[in-house]
Amino acid sequence: MGDEQPRVAIVTGGSGGIGRAVVERLAADGMSVVVHYAGNEERATQTVRSVTGQGGSAVAVAADVAEPAQVRALFDEAERRLGGVDVVVNTAGIMLLAPLAELDVADFDRMHRTNVRGAFLVSQQAAERLRPGGALINFSSSVVRLAQPTYGAYAATKGAVEAMTLILARELRGRDVTVNAVAPGPTATPLFLDGKDQQTIDHLASLPPLQRLGRPDDIAETVAFLAGPARWVNGQVIHTNGGIV
């Protein structure tokens, strides 16, 4: 047993608020983690240092998740440096908010490029590369069900992610690979809190019966469950939001 190699995880958007919490949690569970980043190398390097400083194993790799060759190269690098891929967590995404009638079409296209095309390309590579016993965890959002004003175009991208996730789970019959999505509610990350006044934050924190905002660690806990012991959870969307919906 002592000679077994650690399981290997790729976390896209791994230097962001939720992404970083996922990286640190999976590393604490004994996985070697590829910290994917798009542009902020310094933040990715800090995430790797945080993991290695705790005795874990992590490497940072850059890629544009919407470019097929770069996504393939990301998985190639994981296999080359760490030996294979067992878990893929796709947290990379952008959120641009406006009423549907006022949203700039360029912003609509930007979100679809990263959130939908990116999830599609990462899921394709995961379907091809994940070893038996593996798990793909995509990211949706509770706003798909909450139907909040200004979130229409963003929620549409996450609805697309849910559809691809649920169908891919069934297409991978016989592979011993699970495919699920996590749908966080309001979560206290810098990206989420930016631009919101205290009254808005307090209102959002009051929505769940548990009467607080989610924390990145709350989301990472669900990801760790799906990535590890949850072998009988497959083709599901897990709403991790404290009971809002």
CA–CA distance, 179 with 172 (Å, rounded to integer):
9
Give the distance, in angstroms, between the CA of residue 215 and the centroid of all CA atoms in the same chain. Answer: 14
CA–CA distance, 159 with 134 (Å, rounded to integer):
24
Give per-residue burial for 191-209: e unless 16+ CB within 10 Å, then b: ebbeeeeeeeeeebbebbe
CB atoms closer than 10 angstroms to residue 133: 13
CA–CA distance, 234 with 176 (Å, rounded to integer):
10
Q: Are strands 87-90 and 177-184 parallel, antiparallel or unpaired?
A: unpaired
Catalytic residue ranges = 154
